[in-house]
Amino acid sequence: MRHFAVVGSGPAGFYTAEALEKAYGDQARIDILDRYPVPYGLIRFGVAPDHQSLKAVSKRYDKVAESAGVDFIGNVTIGRDVSVAELLDLYDAVILATGAPHDRKLGIPGEDMTGVVGSAEFVGWYNGHPEFADLDPPLGGAHAAVVGAGNVALDCARILSKTRHEFEGSDIVGHALEALDSSAIRTVTILGRRGPHQVAMTPKELGELGHLEAAAPVVDLADFPPVEADDALEPGLRKSVTLLRGFADLEPNKPKRIVFDFFAKPVAIEGDGRAERIIVEKTMLDEKGAARGTGETYEVPASLIVTAIGYSTSPIADVPFEGGKFVNSRGLITDRLYAVGWARRGPTGTIGTNRPDGYEVADQVAAAMPAGSSSEREGAEGLKRLLQERGVMPTDYDDWCKIEETETGRARPGSPREKFVRVEDWLQAIGR
């Protein structure tokens, strides 16, 4: 028998557990650990609440969790309740699938002002992440800005622009729905430091902006290279650029606008004690395709500024860490310690990208300790004893199902699903 600990219950963690389960069958026990009492990481706290079809992938993860050899152990923080060295004593291999939950910083003056929030915080707020339940983003001004030209920037701009009606069937949390419903924001400016040909936005997500009930996307065709230049783009990007160009043909006859401002690099955030405007420098592309400032600056009014410029992983004591992720070679950090997903390769790719990633690492584990081999390590039994000694009360699969049931029971027909937003509420639901 082998014992494996997968730390983190987002997509990377679940695909790795699935791969290990397939490789070892009943020759291994796999524990998926999470710091929260409930699983799914990015699926629960990161994927937009109005993208239910993407969230449905969790059904596949449910199947993994229901397999005989797999257990969920929640409410346990690695590095605080138990160290990685202790896990390595208890398990044959430890796989860190901790994602990248921290916002990268712009590094410009004024970034710490009230009114400036990172996308992890903002997305966490509308998705019911317990750490961001009290974020209270300022929605009382007419202008917001979102920095970045990726899919997360699109998510944030779209959520800021949707009507209450458009959230039906989503699982946005009540506090965010109420706040957004009374929001005064009428213009959301998306600031891209490079041009339309350099966006990291995918066609499906861009296409949605053309069909919003109360908001219209706005582009300036002067930002675009001649249309013939689109031929050289890879098909997905070409489609995105075609969609962006098409926004110029839409009638801006809706009360809200989502304005694409390209070649605009933030250089400062200003305001009287709180953000009121973001100063941007006009850029041009240098010979390597990077954004080079031209010296010309202008201001964009914004009392809410969401930075959506990428994420980094949480460091864990004694695990080598560099450039926002764990130092690893094809997933291997040190003997029997691995990283998968964003903790391994940084915050890029779709949910599905984590599947081959998890399977590759599981293959490496299986090569190092073939199915049928065994060890004397204790696995979950030893971990639970250690946690009990330390007064930590883990949650299990049945607890999480009970929490889910309680949340589902709170939903009102036709309304977004009601979710708990505090760890205490989750624990109360299971009688703790």
Inter-residue contact 395 to 372 (CB < 8 Å)? no
Position 155 contacts ligand NAP (CB under 6 A): yes
Verify binding: residue 193, ligand NAP, rule CB under 6 A. yes
Spatial separation of the C-alpha atoms in residues 407 and 370, rounded to whole Å: 41
- Is 106 among the residues that bind ligand NAP (CB under 6 A)? yes
Q: Does 347 bind ligand NAP (CB under 6 A)?
A: yes
Neighbouring residues of 195: CB distance < 8 A, sequence distance ≥ 6: 223, 224, 225, 262, 263, 285
Interface region with ligand NAP, contact rule CB under 6 A, candidates 200-208, 271-279, 295-303, 371-379:
200-208
Report how far residue 57's alpha carbon sits from residue 108's, in angstroms, rounded to the nearest whole number. Answer: 38
Residue type, 12: A
Query: Judged by CB under 6 A, which stretch of 188-196, 361-369, 405-413, 423-431 contacts ligand NAP?
Result: 188-196
At 355, list the tokens. Answer: 């599947």
Options 43, 97, 145, 152; binder of ligand NAP; rule CB under 6 A: 152
User: Any contact of residue 309 with ligand NAP (CB under 6 A)?
Assistant: yes
**Minimal distance in Å, beta carbon 63 to ligand NAP?**
22
Among 93, 147, 156, 302, binds ligand NAP (CB under 6 A): 147
Structure tokens at 9: 């219950």
Token pair belonging to 335: 């003997």
Q: Which residues on adjacent β-strands are paired with residue 304? A: 144
Cα torsion at 271, 275, 279, 285 (round to 10°)? 170
- Residue 283 within binding range of ligand NAP, rule CB under 6 A: no
Residues 364-403 that bind ligand NAP (CB under 6 A): none
In the bound state with ligand NAP, the residue whose beta carbon lies nearer, of 69 and 128, is 128
User: What strands, in cross-sheet order, belong to the sheet with 116-118?
Assistant: 116-118, 304-307, 143-147, 187-191, 256-261, 215-218
Among the candidate windows 28-36, 182-190, 196-204, 356-364, which touches ligand NAP by CB under 6 A?
196-204
The nearer residue to ligand NAP, 35 or 194, going by C-beta atoms, is: 194
Q: How far is the CB of 123 from ligand NAP (least distance, A)?
A: 9
Which of the ranges 16-24, 208-216, 238-246, 304-312 carries the binding residues for ligand NAP, by CB under 6 A?
A: 304-312
Q: Select the residue interacting with ligand NAP from 210, 225, 236, 349 (CB under 6 A).
A: 349
> Which of 409, 408, 391, 343 is closest to 42 using CA atoms?
343
Instruction: Check residue 159 for interaction with ligand NAP (CB under 6 A).
Output: no
Measured over the CA atoms of residue 187, residue 190, residue 193 and residue 194, the dihedral's sign is: negative
Piece in contact with ligand NAP (CB under 6 A), picked from 248-256, 272-280, 306-314, 386-394:
306-314
Please report the beta strands in 200-314, taking only residues with DSSP state E, as ranges in sequence order: 215-218, 256-261, 264-270, 277-285, 291-301, 304-307, 311-312
Round to whole Å and give the CA distance between 154 and 345: 23
Question: Does residue 149 touch ligand NAP according to CB under 6 A?
Answer: yes
Looking at 227-235, 302-310, 368-376, 384-392, which segment touches ligand NAP (CB under 6 A)?
Answer: 302-310
Q: Which residue has the tokens 């005064």?
A: 184
Task: Candidates 128, 148, 195, 331: give the one binding ligand NAP (CB under 6 A).
Answer: 148
Give me the least distance between CB of 209 and ligand NAP, in Å please.
12
Largest CA distance in the chain: 69
**Cβ proximity to ligand NAP, 43 vs 76, nearer residue:** 43
100 lies in the site for ligand NAP, by CB under 6 A: no
- DSSP string of 130-147? GGGTT------SSEEEEE
350 binds ligand NAP (CB under 6 A): yes
> In this structure, are strands 102-103 and 311-312 parallel, antiparallel, or unpaired?
antiparallel
DSSP state of 395: B
> What element of type H or E holds 12?
helix 11-24
From 341, 360, 317, 272, select the one nearest 101 (Cα to Cα).
341
Stretch that binds ligand NAP, among 83-91, 327-335, 348-356, 391-399 (CB under 6 A): 348-356
Return the number of the residue (180 or 191) whose C-beta is nearest ligand NAP. Answer: 191
Distance in Å, CB of 200 to ligand NAP, minimum: 3
Task: Point out which residues bind ligand NAP (CB under 6 A).
Answer: 106, 147-153, 155, 192-194, 198, 200, 202, 205, 266, 291, 308-310, 347-350
